[in-house]
Amino acid sequence: MRTLNTQTMTYKFPALSIFPLLVCLWLFLPTIGNSQGNNDMLCVGAHWTEAEGADFLASMKKAYTTKKEWEARASAIRKQVLKGTGLEKFPKKNALNPIFGEVREFDGYQVQNVAFESLPGVFVTGSLYSPKGELKNLPGIISPHGHWTQEGDVGRYRADAQKRFASMARMGAMVWAYDAVGYAEMEEIGWEHKHSEALKQQLWNSIRGVDFLLEMGVNPDKIAVTGASGGATQSFLLTAVDDRIAVSVPVVMVSAHFFGGCVCESGMPIHKAKNYQTNNVEIAALSAPKPMLLVSVGGDWTKNTPKVEYPHLQHIYGLMGEKNMVENVHIPEDQHGYDEKKRQAVYPFLAKHLGLDLSKALHADGSLNESAVTLEDQRDLYVFSDKNPFPSHGVKNNSGVKWK
C-alpha cells in the first residue's frame, strides 16, 4: 500500500466480533431469487456501520480459504449481480451503428464525439479520446463518471475528467468517456437518472462500450476501466460481469460498509437476496487475479481501506496466486473525487499494465504533466446538434427501452 504524502492518520476500529459458523455459511449460500421490486433486498448508502462492514469481511474470510472456495463464492456474487440487474440473460446485441462527429485535434491527442446504439434506438452519447497517429491495436480505457451535477461541472465534462481522458490518450490509449443515463446530453434528450432501472441501463451501456472500443480496433487483451465515486461503482460492476476488462481502477468507492447512495448503484438487488449477502468489496474482488488499484482517501467512506478493504482483497488475490496484482494508494488528507493526487497515483498503474508512455502524463519528478490538455466547453463535447440531428427512430426516455 502506497501513501502519497508524509502525513499519517490513525483510525480506531471496534473489536471484530466472530459470527457463528452457521451465520457464515448462511451468508455464503448462493441462493438467488428475489424480485427487483423488493426494497427489503436493497442495501443503500451507509447500510452498515463501519464495524459491521469489517465484521462481515472478517467472517467471510473464514468461508474461503482456498482458490476453489473463492471461485465458488465469486460465481455466486456474479450470478446475483446479473440476476439483480435483470441481465442474467443478455439481450441480443444489435449493431452499434455509431454516429461520429468531427475530429478535433490538440497537442498530442484528438477528440471525436460519438453516439452508438446500445439497444435499438438507445443512443449512448460520449467522446472518444485517442493519440494522434496510428490508431490500430491501442490499449482501450472505459471511463464512466460519477455524480457531479453542478452547472459547469457535470459528469464527464468536468475539468478533472477532461484532463484524465486527454492525458490517458496522450499516453497512448483510446479512451471512451460516456454519459451516465440521464446526465448532460442524455438528460437533455429526455432520459432520467433516478429511474428504477438506471443501474441495469448503465451497466448494459458499459458492456456495449467495451464492444464499441473493440469495434474501433483496440487491443482485446489491454482494456481497462476507471472512474470515481459512482463511476467507480460502474467500474467494478463492469469488471465483475465482463471478462474482457483486464485492468480495474475504482477510485474512492470500494467500501465494506457503504453500498452507494444512488439508484444507479444500489437501486436493484445486487447485494442481497434470500439467504445471500455481499458488499462492494467482494464484488470488486471479482477482478482477481487481474490487476486492480484501489485509490482511497481519509475524507470519505474509503478512509478504512488500508486496514479493512485492502487486506481482504489481498487475501483473495493471494488465494488466486497473485497477491501483488492488487494495490492501494491511500491519500489520508484528500477528499472524495478524481483530482490531481488521484490521477498522479493512477497514471503509473495504467502505464505499467497497459504499456503506456508515462512521460506524457507525469514529469520526471512524478508531478503531473497535464499542461498540454485543452479544456472544452460542455456543448463542444455533445454529439447531436442542428448539423448532426438526433435520429428520428431514437429512444428519448427510459420508458421507451425495449429489452429483448
Q: What's the CATH code of the domain at 218?
A: 3.40.50.1820
pLDDT digits (tens, 9 = 90+) for 3-17: 554 232 322 333 333
**pLDDT at residue number 39:** 80
Residue type, 368: L
Write the CB contacts of 29 (distance below 8 Å, at least 6 apart in sequence): 76, 275, 276
64 assigned to some structural domain = no
Q: How many domains does the chain have?
A: 1
pTM for the complete prediction? Answer: 0.90
Cα separation, 88 vs 397, in Å, equals: 23
CA angle 400, 401, 404 (to 5 degrees): 140
Cα separation, 101 vs 52, in Å, equals: 49
Cα separation, 50 vs 36, in Å, equals: 27
266 assigned to some structural domain = yes
208 assigned to some structural domain = yes
Cα separation, 138 vs 28, in Å, equals: 40
**pLDDT at residue number 171:** 98
123 assigned to some structural domain = yes
41 assigned to some structural domain = no
Which of 25-34, 77-86, 200-209, 229-238 comes out lowest in average pLDDT?
Answer: 25-34
Span 204-219, average pLDDT: 98
**pLDDT at residue number 133:** 87
Q: What mean pLDDT, rounded, does the chain reach?
A: 91
In this prediction, residue 151 has a pLDDT band, given cuts at 50, 70 and 90, of confident
pLDDT digits (tens, 9 = 90+) for 66-118: 999 999 999 999 999 999 999 999 999 999 999 999 999 999 999 999 999 99
147 assigned to some structural domain = yes
Residue type, 175: V
Q: Is the predicted pLDDT of residue 45 greater than 50, yes or no?
A: yes
Span 164-168, average pLDDT: 98
Q: Is the predicted pLDDT of residue 370 greater than 80, yes or no?
A: yes
23 assigned to some structural domain = no
Residue located via cell numbers 428519448: 396
Classify 80 in phi/psi space as left (phi over 0), alpha (psi -120 to 50) or beta.
Answer: alpha
Q: Is the predicted pLDDT of residue 237 greater than 50, yes or no?
A: yes
Residue type, 239: T
In this prediction, residue 312 has a pLDDT band, given cuts at 50, 70 and 90, of very high
Which domain, by its residues, includes 250? 99-381
**pLDDT at residue number 4:** 58
The stretches of 157-254 forming alpha helices (DSSP H) are: 159-170, 184-189, 198-215, 230-241
362 assigned to some structural domain = yes
In this prediction, residue 38 has a pLDDT band, given cuts at 50, 70 and 90, of low
CA angle 235, 240, 246 (to 5 degrees): 70
